[in-house]
């Protein structure tokens, strides 16, 4: 498995953060907030795989292009950046040995928390 940081997705996440399009939820909320298989498929049908990819910080270049399996480490629900997804992804990236993605997610989490403290 060759997983790389999806730079376009990272830029998209930072844009959501700048615009305040964030859900300040708790760590364990991602299992409830994550899009379902049907929601993922509906999003792809409406917006295409390139837009779907923007919601995932990891890209497994060993997987076939244009497939959902190529994209890993989701950080939102196709509307907002979710704090719980970032926490979950950071943990998984560390667990599976993806330090670049782990670092990107950690920085996003710090930025999310800083933005919340400014309110």
Q: Residue-wise over 25-64: b if at least 16 C-beta within 10 A, else e?
A: beeebbeebbbeeeebeebbeeeeeeebbbbbbbbbeebe
pLDDT given at position 27: 77
pLDDT given at position 26: 83
pLDDT given at position 119: 65
Structure tokens at 55: 């919601």
Beta-ladder partners of 71: 59
pLDDT given at position 28: 84
pLDDT given at position 115: 85
Q: Which residues of the chain have a pLDDT value below 70? A: 119
């Amino acid at each position: 498995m060759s997983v790389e940081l999806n730079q376009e997705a990272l830029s998209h996440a930072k844009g959501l953060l700048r615009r305040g399009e964030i859900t300040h939820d708790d760590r364990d909320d991602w299992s409830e907030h994550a899009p379902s298989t049907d929601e993922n498929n509906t999003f792809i049908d409406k917006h295409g795989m390139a837009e779907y990819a923007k919601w995932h910080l990891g890209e497994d270049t060993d997987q076939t292009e244009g497939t959902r399996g190529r994209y890993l480490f989701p950080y939102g629900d196709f509307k907002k950046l979710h704090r719980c997804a970032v926490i979950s992804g950071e943990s998984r990236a560390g667990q599976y040995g993806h330090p670049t993605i782990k670092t990107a997610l950690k920085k996003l989490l710090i930025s999310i928390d800083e933005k919340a403290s400014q309110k």
